[in-house]
């Protein structure tokens, strides 16, 4: 069978000879320096020709202050909150609270996180004041204008800025309240379901003890797993290793959605209980409330306040304070510097509080709520047998004090 012909591109003889004679001439004209070196070293492609410009040396230094402020803020977000006791409430409403809050200003993460924007705007105000002073003193050329303007535009736009800040903070607080309410529902549902399972222990013949014990451990593990699901950088292994068995914990850790995996454990364990159908239906209804809690928590974490509203508020605040020294120059002169500092510190603090409480779960004392709930369930489980024995003893004593015919025995 004949082989298929292969087409090869060949250079004609006259073109090849002309090209070979032309190449040395071109190379000698275009690269005259290469002839002096007999064996030039090959150069890496794309390294010499595309050399990246050196970064601005001042930029890393300027980034240290915002990075330091953000680090303080994030450490404060990861800090564990505590539930209020009577002593906390007494301190909270103390008449010395204003002095205490003022003295602790330098340790407030809200105030420290505002150092970059507030000090930048204050520096801009100082620069503008120095420029206007130089123009007024004649130290600069005469064609440079004096930066001043009428305060009427600010008087007209001040209500708009106030409404933006109020609505922004109110929307953030409504998210915080919604997160608190959904977490309370999860705590109440967990407590009720655990109480129903514990109450089944009054009849030892109808409940498998191992199934009941495993079901209680799953119920106690659910709020802890949900807490680790909504709070970033939580250690779920350390939180659940004292609640679940190692094999159950290994299955949960392999799951992508760990709270739903625990709900599946709870549902399967409820189906294995030897109890009435009505009680089983009530227990399953409590499990449905767990699904609702997961959905609400995920929506709060995944859907923030509309970003256009947040950006509009931020831009309005920055532009307001950038032009504030121009408006106040005629009336205040160099006082525009402290005036800009006070205004920026006040209004940016309000906006910062709204941003912080927009993510509700980092502001709640979820760790102590989970510990309190687990302690309540364990105490109820430990007291169950003791209370049961005490009730049986009282009943036995009451029966012994009465005669078989219903008349009380005469005391001798």
Non-local CB neighbours of 201 within 8 Å, separated by 6+ positions: 207, 212, 384, 388
- pLDDT surpassing 80 at residue 402: no
> Per-residue pLDDT averaged across 205-227, rounded?
85
Among the ranges 26-30, 60-64, 75-79, 319-323, which has the highest mean pLDDT value? 319-323
Summarize pLDDT for 103-140 with one digit per residue, the tens. Answer: 988 888 888 888 899 999 999 999 999 999 999 888 98
Q: What would the two tokens of residue 134 be?
A: 């130089």
How many beta carbons lie within 10 A of that of residue 128, not counting itself?
A: 21
The rounded distance, in Å, linking the Cα atoms of 350 and 18 is 81
Which pLDDT does position 395 carry in this prediction?
78
Average model confidence (pLDDT) for the chain? 81
DSSP state string for 78-117: HSPP----HHHHHHHT-TTHHHHHHHTGGG-HHHHTTHHH
> Per-residue pLDDT averaged across 314-337, rounded?
92
Contact in structure between 348 and 115 (CB atoms under 8 Å): no
Lowest mean pLDDT among 39-53, 151-165, 180-194, 320-334: 39-53
- pLDDT surpassing 60 at residue 331: yes
Q: How far is CA 342 from CA 80, 113, 331, in A?
A: 31, 16, 17
pLDDT tier at 204, thresholds 50, 70, 90: very low
Summarize pLDDT for 250-304 with one digit per residue, the tens. Answer: 999 999 999 999 999 999 999 888 888 888 889 988 899 899 999 999 999 999 9
The rounded distance, in Å, linking the Cα atoms of 267 and 342 is 57
> Per-residue pLDDT averaged across 333-358, rounded?
93
pLDDT tier at 142, thresholds 50, 70, 90: confident
Which residue in this structure is represented by tokens 């121009």?
326
pLDDT tier at 372, thresholds 50, 70, 90: very high
Non-local CB neighbours of 135 within 8 Å, separated by 6+ positions: 144, 145, 146
- pLDDT surpassing 60 at residue 58: no
Give pTM, 2 decimals. 0.74
Cα torsion 113, 114, 117, 121 to 10°: value is -150
Which pLDDT does position 17 carry in this prediction?
41
Which pLDDT does position 52 carry in this prediction?
43
What whole-number percentage of the chain has pLDDT above 70?
80
Which pLDDT does position 39 carry in this prediction?
44
φ, ψ for residue 402, nearest 5 deg: -105, 145
Which pLDDT does position 16 carry in this prediction?
41
Nearest to 127 by CA among 325, 319, 317, 316: 325
Q: What would the two tokens of residue 187 be?
A: 């705590």
Domains of the chain by residue range: 177-304+373-384
- pLDDT surpassing 50 at residue 31: no
Lowest mean pLDDT among 33-47, 193-207, 362-376, 381-395: 33-47
The rounded distance, in Å, linking the Cα atoms of 360 and 81 is 12
Higher pLDDT, 268 or 200: 268
Which pLDDT does position 238 carry in this prediction?
92
């Amino acid at each position: 069978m004949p082989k298929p012909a292969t087409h090869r591109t060949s250079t004609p003889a006259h073109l090849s000879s002309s090209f070979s004679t032309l190449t040395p001439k071109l190379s000698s004209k275009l690269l005259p320096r290469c002839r002096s070196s007999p064996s030039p070293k090959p150069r890496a492609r794309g390294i010499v020709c595309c050399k990246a410009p050196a970064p601005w040396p001042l930029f890393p230094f300027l980034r240290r202050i915002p990075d330091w402020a953000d680090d303080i803020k994030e450490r404060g977000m990861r800090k564990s909150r505590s539930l209020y006791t009577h002593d906390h409430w007494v301190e909270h409403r103390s008449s010395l609270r204003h002095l205490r809050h003022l003295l602790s200003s330098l340790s407030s993460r809200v105030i420290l996180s505002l150092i970059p924007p507030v000090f930048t705007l204050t520096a801009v105000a100082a620069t503008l004041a120095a420029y206007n002073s130089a123009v007024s003193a004649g130290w600069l050329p005469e064609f440079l204008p004096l930066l001043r303007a009428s305060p009427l535009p600010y008087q007209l736009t001040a209500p708009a800025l106030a409404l933006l800040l109020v609505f922004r903070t109110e929307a953030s607080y409504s998210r915080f309240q919604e997160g608190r309410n959904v977490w309370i529902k999860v705590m109440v549902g967990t407590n009720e379901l655990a109480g129903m399972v514990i109450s089944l222990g009054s009849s030892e013949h109808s409940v498998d003890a191992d199934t009941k014990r495993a079901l209680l451990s799953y119920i106690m593990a659910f709020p802890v797993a949900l807490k680790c699901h909504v709070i970033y950088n939580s250690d779920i292994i350390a939180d659940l290793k004292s609640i679940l068995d190692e094999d159950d914990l290994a299955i949960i850790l392999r799951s992508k959605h760990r709270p739903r995996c625990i709900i599946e454990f709870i549902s399967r364990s409820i189906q294995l209980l030897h109890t009435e159908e009505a009680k089983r239906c009530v227990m399953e209804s409590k499990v449905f409330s767990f699904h609702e809690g997961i959905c609400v928590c995920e929506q709060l974490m995944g859907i923030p306040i509309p970003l256009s509203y947040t950006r509009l508020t931020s831009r309005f605040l920055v532009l307001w304070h950038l032009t504030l020294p121009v408006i106040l120059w005629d009336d205040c002169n160099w006082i525009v510097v402290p005036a800009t500092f006070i205004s920026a510190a006040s209004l940016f603090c309000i906006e910062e509080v709204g941003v912080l409480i927009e993510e509700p779960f980092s502001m709640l004392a979820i760790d102590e709520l989970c510990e309190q709930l687990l302690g309540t369930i364990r105490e109820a489980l430990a007291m169950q047998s003791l209370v049961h024995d005490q009730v049986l003893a009282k009943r036995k004593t009451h029966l012994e004090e009465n005669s078989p015919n219903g008349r009380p025995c005469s005391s001798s």
